[in-house]
Chain A
Amino acid sequence: DTEVTQTPKHLVMGMTNKKSLKCEQHMGHRAMYWYKQKAKKPPELMFVYSYEKLSINESVPSRFSPECPNSSLLNLHLHALQPEDSALYLCASSQESGDPNYGYTFGSGTRLTVV
């Protein structure tokens, strides 16, 4: 299995809803990432988990709450989002040792719309 799987693929939520995005990989990668990508912009890093511990939080608002239950799973819990949070949310993973042949792997993303 050489994929990063994200669910759901599409999500529409109201500003008072609570929802979660899920990301799963079975490549034995020990670093996992959440990125946010707005239209026509490059991905922006939100969080980095290294060996299941949060190692980087790029000053993300608290309405986004990451969770790494185990080395294969990464969740992003969403609560009280704003319309400007609508974006493509990408999960990625990489080997901690930085294998030069594979870079790192992105999931196909969750397209989130906040109404």
Chain B
Amino acid sequence: EDKVVQSPLSLVVHEGDTVTLNCSYEVTNFRSLLWYKQEKKAPTFLFMLTSSGIEKKSGRLSSILDKKELFSILNITATQTGDSAIYLCAVEALTPGTYKYIFGTGTRLKVLA
């Protein structure tokens, strides 16, 4: 059965700290891994990763994929209170005729002022 596991489930840090969020997966026919940030409503896209070892960066956020060990990490440096959210990892898996996304349970991050 395809599964995506995120850790930790929740995390509380202070502003300025650096955090690392983990996502491991077991899926057949892996195609890509995506990170989303969810605050009050719909998830907001952060990164899509398809190749191992290539870091993607956006401001204070960065992410990398290891397709051999089947995991990805999302780093946030110099955290701010606005980073408080649930961070979702989703893996895109090919199924006959189409593809679908399997979400992890998310990591709930709270950044204290």
We find that the number of chain A residues with CB closer than 8 angstroms to chain B is: 24
In the complex, A100→B106 CA distance in Å?
A: 22
Contacting pair B104 A42 (CB below 8 A): yes
Contacting pair A50 B88 (CB below 8 A): no
**In the complex, chain A residues whose CB is within 8 Å of the CB of B48:** 100-103
Is B67's beta carbon under 8 Å from chain A?
no
Contacting pair A48 B100 (CB below 8 A): yes
Which of A42, A101, A109 meets B41, CB within 8 Å?
Answer: A109
Is B97's beta carbon under 8 Å from chain A?
yes
Which of A48, A103, A104, A107 meets B98, CB within 8 Å?
Answer: A48
Is A98's beta carbon under 8 Å from chain B?
yes
In the complex, A65→B58 CA distance in Å?
A: 39
Please give me the 9 A-B residue pairs with the lowest Cβ-Cβ distance, nearest first: A42-B103, A106-B42, A55-B98, A50-B98, A103-B45, A103-B48, A108-B41, A103-B34, A108-B42
**In the complex, chain A residues whose CB is within 8 Å of the CB of B36:** 103
Which of A45, A56, A98 meets B31, CB within 8 Å?
Answer: A98
Instruction: List B27-57 residues whose CB lies under 8 Å from chain A.
Output: 31-32, 34, 36, 41-45, 47-48, 50
